[in-house]
């Protein structure tokens, strides 16, 4: 029997991993060969990723993947996905000519207000790109870089979004990939190319961007790691959320709502057409793309970031030290009564506050409630509030599209929280199905297997995957 080995490099805003996949007889076996934390660092007033540290972790992970192969076996390919929107500006020789900023940097606030305050421009940009005005958009970030450092237009010749940049470091080839391009607010919502109108509005030089390639494009072979010199670098959907959605064991009739729950909660579905117009703009629907060019209309709900940051404020002992301690924290929170007052998850003050706990407490006090007393209480409050946020996003989609969702499929870190699954089911009044699945890595590997012709297409991959998946169903409690 043939076994096809692929490695997924999957970088999230708070953690990264390299996962080895072995595909044989229509089954995928995963081994997490390397995991590492990720964080941005603040220098003066700005936030930056530690890009050299991430590259070091990627190389370490690939060496571990090579070492984990059975004797004589070869790693067929690798693929990279990362969080959305962030980018590296490079010159023709690939040198970084600007530090890589993190999307939580407050530098886009002025641009966000300007666009938000000009109805005509806001509608024009939305009609052109299908992406709402959100603080982290690459469009706003690039506009700020160019305004603050005008000489950058002479220094930089290419803009590579982070998966594109790591693909370049791995393979030597510069290419912009479609799904990550679709997070920028610079891509034309009706084609698979850049939007002239958006580039003009944000004054981004068109020559910085190459026509996006589709998922499955073979970029070259791995440079710099002798054991992997014949391993291909394949452009997978570079956006982590696109990979997570690809891994969803969805029913083909389109009645499943997708929830990828991590730092952010991405609530959406797959569609042949974008969801546009005034209601979509008001509901902040982002028409991101699937690797093959179709659409993933989704709403970005603030997600577990609330918990990540609140735990920092509660001190070093608030954060569980191992999986069992996490389970206990979640179980204790589930025993508390449902929260009387919920967090307004759309409050922009939650994006990157000096103290998350202070913002949450202030919100609850404004509603004449009492803030939680400890980490268990915050866990309860945050899960109740996210559940409501997920359900609101679902109802908005139902209103706009006439669809009726029958189930919510959840993957990602939050899918391991019975409390979050249950609060979501209760608020949405439909079952939540959670899968024991490292979704993003699975979607990443699926796209490599399809490019290598080891699997026919995504529907058949999902079909095979569904046959062996462990799932848990949370029915709404009346």
Query: Which burial class, exposed, middle or buried, applies to 477 when counting CB atoms under 10 A from its CB (0-12, 13-18, 19+)?
Result: exposed
Under the binding rule (CB under 6 A), the answer on residue 242 touching ligand LRH is: no
Of the candidate residues 5, 49, 83, 397, the single one contacting ligand LRH (CB under 6 A): 83
Residue 44, H or E segment = none
**Sole window of 53-61, 80-88, 316-324, 370-378 interacting with ligand LRH (rule: CB under 6 A):** 80-88
Site string for ligand LRH, 3-22 (x = CB under 6 A): ---------xx---------
DSSP output for 101-135: B-TT-GGGHHHHHHHHT-HHHHHHHHHHH-----T
Query: Nearest residue by C-beta to ligand LRH?
Result: 84
**Sole window of 109-117, 237-245, 329-337, 466-474 interacting with ligand LRH (rule: CB under 6 A):** 237-245
Least Å distance between CB 266 and ligand LRH?
Answer: 5
CA angle 397-399-401, nearest 5°?
65
Q: Give whichever of 194 and 258 is closer to ligand LRH, judged by the CB atom.
A: 258
DSSP output for 336-390: SPPPSS---TT-GGGSS-S-HHHHHHHHHHHTT----SSHHHHHHHHHHHHHHHH
**Sole window of 238-246, 334-342, 362-370, 392-400 interacting with ligand LRH (rule: CB under 6 A):** 238-246
* Main-chain dihedrals φ then ψ at residue 331, nearest 5 degrees: -65, -40
Under the binding rule (CB under 6 A), the answer on residue 85 touching ligand LRH is: yes
> What residues from 348 to 387 belong to the interface with ligand LRH (CB under 6 A)?
none
Under the binding rule (CB under 6 A), the answer on residue 208 touching ligand LRH is: no
Under the binding rule (CB under 6 A), the answer on residue 268 touching ligand LRH is: no
Q: Note if 240 is an active site residue.
A: yes
Least Å distance between CB 58 and ligand LRH?
Answer: 17
Q: Which of 105, 188, 240, 392 is catalytic?
A: 240
> What residues from 135 to 154 belong to the interface with ligand LRH (CB under 6 A)?
136
Least Å distance between CB 78 and ligand LRH?
Answer: 20
Site string for ligand LRH, 97-126 (x = CB under 6 A): ------x-----------------------
Under the binding rule (CB under 6 A), the answer on residue 393 touching ligand LRH is: no
Least Å distance between CB 104 and ligand LRH?
Answer: 9
Distance separating alpha carbons of residues 432 and 476, to the nearest angstrom: 8
Residue among 159, 294, 292, 296 nearest 216 (CA): 292
Distance separating alpha carbons of residues 101 and 460, to the nearest angstrom: 39
Q: Give whichever of 76 and 382 is closer to ligand LRH, judged by the CB atom.
A: 382
Q: Give whichever of 300 and 352 is closer to ligand LRH, judged by the CB atom.
A: 300
Distance separating alpha carbons of residues 478 and 391, to the nearest angstrom: 15
Under the binding rule (CB under 6 A), the answer on residue 183 touching ligand LRH is: yes
Under the binding rule (CB under 6 A), the answer on residue 59 touching ligand LRH is: no
**Sole window of 78-86, 105-113, 159-167, 315-323 interacting with ligand LRH (rule: CB under 6 A):** 78-86
Under the binding rule (CB under 6 A), the answer on residue 166 touching ligand LRH is: no
Q: Would you tell me how many other CB atoms lie within 10 Å of the CB of residue 153?
A: 16
Least Å distance between CB 351 and ligand LRH?
Answer: 11
Q: Going by C-beta distance under 8 Å and a sequence separation of 6 or more, which residues neighbour residue 203?
A: 143, 146
Of the candidate residues 10, 144, 240, 384, the single one contacting ligand LRH (CB under 6 A): 240
Distance separating alpha carbons of residues 112 and 127, to the nearest angstrom: 17
Under the binding rule (CB under 6 A), the answer on residue 77 touching ligand LRH is: no
Under the binding rule (CB under 6 A), the answer on residue 49 touching ligand LRH is: no
What are 34's strand-pairing partners?
Answer: 18
Query: Which burial class, exposed, middle or buried, applies to 216 when counting CB atoms under 10 A from its CB (0-12, 13-18, 19+)?
Result: middle
Least Å distance between CB 195 and ligand LRH?
Answer: 18
Query: Which burial class, exposed, middle or buried, applies to 30 when counting CB atoms under 10 A from its CB (0-12, 13-18, 19+)?
Result: middle
With tokens 């690797």, the residue in question is 291
Least Å distance between CB 349 and ligand LRH?
Answer: 18
> What residues from 247 to 266 belong to the interface with ligand LRH (CB under 6 A)?
262-264, 266
Between the CA of residue 134 and those of 42, 283, 335, what are the distances in Å? 21, 12, 36
First to last CA, the chain: 50
Under the binding rule (CB under 6 A), the answer on residue 241 touching ligand LRH is: yes
Q: Going by C-beta distance under 8 Å and a sequence separation of 6 or more, which residues neighbour residue 263?
A: 12, 13, 14, 83, 303, 304, 305, 308
Least Å distance between CB 85 and ligand LRH?
Answer: 5
Sites of contact with ligand LRH (CB under 6 A)? 12-13, 83-85, 103, 136, 183, 239-241, 262-264, 266, 300
Active site residues: 240
């Amino acid at each position: 029997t043939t076994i096809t080995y692929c490695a997924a490099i999957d970088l999230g805003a708070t953690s990264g991993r390299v996962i080895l996949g072995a595909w044989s007889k229509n089954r995928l076996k995963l081994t997490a060969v390397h995991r590492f934390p990720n964080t941005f660092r603040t220098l003066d007033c700005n936030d930056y990723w530690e890009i050299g540290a991430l590259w070091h972790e990627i190389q370490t992970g690939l060496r571990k993947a090579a070492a984990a192969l059975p004797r004589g076996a070869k790693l067929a390919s690798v693929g990279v996905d990362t969080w959305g929107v962030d980018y590296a500006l490079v010159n023709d020789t690939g040198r970084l000519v600007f530090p890589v900023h993190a999307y939580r940097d407050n530098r886009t606030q002025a641009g966000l207000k300007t666009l938000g305050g000009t109805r005509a421009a806001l509608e024009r940009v939305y009609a052109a790109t299908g992406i709402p005005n959100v603080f982290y958009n690459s469009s706003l970030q690039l506009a700020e870089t160019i305004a603050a450092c005008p000489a950058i237009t002479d220094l930089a010749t290419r803009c590579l979004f982070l998966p594109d940049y790591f693909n370049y470091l791995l393979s030597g080839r510069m290419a912009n990939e479609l799904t990550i391009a679709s997070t920028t607010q610079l891509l034309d919502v009706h084609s698979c190319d850049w939007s002239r109108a958006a580039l003009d509005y944000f004054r981004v030089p068109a020559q910085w961007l190459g026509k996006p390639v589709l998922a499955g494009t073979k970029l070259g072979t791995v440079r710099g790691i002798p054991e992997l010199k014949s391993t291909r670098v394949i452009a997978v959907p570079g956006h982590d959320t696109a990979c997570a959605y690809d891994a969803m064991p969805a029913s083909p009739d389109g009645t499943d709502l997708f929830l990828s729950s991590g730092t952010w909660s991405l609530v959406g579905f797959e569609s042949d057409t974008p969801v546009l117009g005034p209601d979509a703009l008001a509901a902040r629907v982002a028409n991101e793309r699937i690797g093959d060019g179709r659409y993933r209309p989704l709403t970005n709900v603030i997600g577990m970031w609330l918990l990540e940051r609140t735990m920092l404020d509660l001190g070093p002992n608030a954060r569980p030290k191992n999986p069992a301690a996490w389970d206990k924290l979640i179980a204790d929170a589930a025993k508390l009564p449902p929260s009387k007052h919920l967090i307004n998850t759309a409050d922009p003050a939650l994006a990157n506050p000096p103290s998350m706990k202070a913002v949450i407490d202030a919100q609850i006090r404004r509603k004449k409630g009492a803030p939680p007393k400890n980490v268990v209480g915050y866990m309860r409050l945050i899960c109740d509030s996210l559940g409501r946020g997920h359900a609101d996003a679902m109802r908005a989609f139902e209103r706009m599209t006439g669809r009726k969702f029958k189930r919510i499929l959840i993957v990602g870190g939050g899918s391991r929280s019975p409390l979050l699954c249950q609060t979501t089911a209760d608020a949405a009044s439909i079952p939540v199905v959670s899968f024991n699945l490292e979704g993003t890595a699975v979607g990443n590997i699926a796209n490599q297997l399809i490019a290598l012709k080891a699997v026919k297409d995504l529907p058949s991959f999902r079909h095979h995957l569904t046959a062996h998946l462990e799932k848990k169903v949370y029915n709404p409690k009346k």
